[in-house]
Copies of this chain bind each other. A is one copy, B any other.
Amino acid sequence: MRDAFHEDLDTITDQLVEMTHLAGSAMARATTALLDADVHLAESVIAADEELDEMRENLDALSIDLLARQQPVATDLRIVVTSMRMSSDLERMGDLARHIAKVARLRYPEKAVPASLTSHILEMGQVAERIVTKAGSVIASKDTETAISLEKDDDAMDELHRQLFAALLSDRATFTAETVVDLTLLGRYYERFADHAVSVARRVVYLVTGQFAAGVELDHEEEEEASGETVLRPGAASA
């Protein structure tokens, strides 16, 4: 039989997994709302984000209560602290899905994404869904193999982000400034969503193995892509 402390930890784990489901669902629906210019769906994503915020608050309250009551040390203490960080990542992922839904709502009845980029954004949405689903599996199973495959999905997201910039900056592109602004922000939202999922997976791996792979950072952000550095070099526009 599990003791009270480990039962509470199980509850925390279950809630973190549930947060990945909510974040994944929000992202899937936000992408659909964006590409279909479905304002009702967008509204529902925006409204539903509150649930994720509340889960995070409750989870943090439970964690602090657990620290106060059980006074964990060593690994147990690290698990609780890390869980609070994971809930922060997941809550932020919900925010990013909501940002995407807000772009959809803003441009309604028009579509924010031009037809030539629809399949590209759809693919970013699919990678985002896949990566958050895997993050949930990693939390539940502590499976480091899945955690590693998630890094590959993140590489795919970074590549899609690069290609999006290249498309926006192509000499043949005739996008309006409004579209360039929207797509620049959307690209960043999808990429940051994936970054936070990577952070979640890495935190789990760190708890399990006590270490990271070489060159891997805890708070993940693909810096080069963040400022578009690998794409936005002078001359890239003519690529």
Contact = CB atoms under 8 A, between A and B. Distances in A.
B185 A228 contact: yes
Interface residues of A, number: 48
Contacts of A178: 169, 232, 237
Interface string A175-198: 111101110110010000000000
A29 interface: no
Interface stretch (A64-72, A120-128, A138-146, A201-209): A64-72
Nearest to A182: B232
A152 interface: no
The complex is assembled from copies of this chain, and their number is 2
Interface string A50-78: 00000000000000100110010110011
Given A219-B91, A227-B99, A227-B103, A232 B175 contact: no
Contacts of A169: 177-178, 181
B188 A110 contact: no
B68 A67 contact: no
Contact of A177 (B81, B102, B168, B188): B168
A77 to B, nearest CB: 6
Interface in A87-108: 88, 91-92, 95, 98-99, 102-103, 105-107
A12 B24 CA distance: 36
A232 B183 CA distance: 13
Interface string A40-53: 00000000000000
A184 to B, nearest CB: 4
Given A102-B229, A110-B234, A227-B103, A180 B182 contact: no
A81 B66 CA distance: 13
A234 B107 contact: yes
A185 B84 CA distance: 29
21 contacts: A64-B78, A67-B67, A81-B84, A85-B88, A88-B88, A88-B219, A95-B221, A99-B227, A102-B223, A102-B226, A102-B227, A103-B227, A106-B232, A106-B233, A110-B234, A168-B181, A169-B177, A169-B178, A181-B228, A182-B232, A188-B188
CB-CB nearest 5 A-B residue pairs: A102-B227, A184-B184, A180-B180, A71-B71, A68-B73
